[in-house]
Amino acid sequence: MLGTKVKEILNEQINKEFYSAYLYLAMSAHLSDMGLYGFSRWCEIQSREEIDHGMILVEYLLKHKEKIDLKNISSPQMNFSSPLEIFEQIYNHEREITRSIDSIAVKSDEECDFATRNFIDWYLKEQIEEEDHTLRIISKLKAFGSEKSSLYLMDKELGQREYHQSFYQ
Ligand code: FEO
């Protein structure tokens, strides 16, 4: 059986993951409008991964015969500025998500819910990767992003990203 508070925050986390999907989709649309189709694709794929993250939480709760509480998903902002500002915003957003995942780990320990404590490690690793990827893109944008030819090459590079469904293992 899962911890009482743990169940609650896992349901809140489902909402945060689906909100993240909305946010990345809004960013993807904005970047597409700017003609940065590679950056746009990167964000669109990230949006799909966030849906996977939400679904893995849903499946985990269902497997443990717990109730799913699907809360309203807020609208994300729809206007953004430069790619650098967007990726800085992504980094700050992911830091928030990491703090949220950390709090699930802490709560699992407090409630002696070791199944969830073990499960949430997958998310902790995922957050390390997401923050690292985002920081690398920010570094490149800071180093070369002001040159149009460099931005073009970065756009091509990010456009190579492929979607692979995320699974909890
Ligand atoms: Fe599902 Fe970007 O964290």
Which residues fall within 8 angstroms of residue 31, CB to CB, at 6 or more apart?
37, 39, 40, 43, 83, 86
pLDDT at 94: 98
* CA-nearest residue, atom 2 of ligand 1: 94
CA of 110 to the centre of ligand 1 (A): 24
What is the structure's pLDDT at 2?
95
Cβ < 6 A, ligand 1 pocket: 17, 20, 50, 53, 94, 97, 130
Q: What's the pLDDT score for residue 58?
A: 98
CA of 36 to the centre of ligand 1 (A): 22
Domains defined for the chain, CATH in brackets = 4-158 (1.20.1260.10)
Distance 132 CA to ligand 1 centre (A): 12
pLDDT on residue 168:
86
Q: What pLDDT was estimated at residue 54?
A: 98
The whole-number pLDDT of residue 74 equals 98
d(CA 149, CA 114): 51
What is the pLDDT, as a whole number, of residue 46? Answer: 98
What is the CA(127)–ligand 1 centre distance, in A? Answer: 7
List, for the chain, all residue ranges whose pLDDT scores fall below the cut of 70: 169
Q: CB of 38 within 8 A of CB of 89?
A: no
| Res 1: pLDDT | 85
Instruction: Please state the pTM of the whole predicted model.
Output: 0.96
Three-class SS state of 71: coil
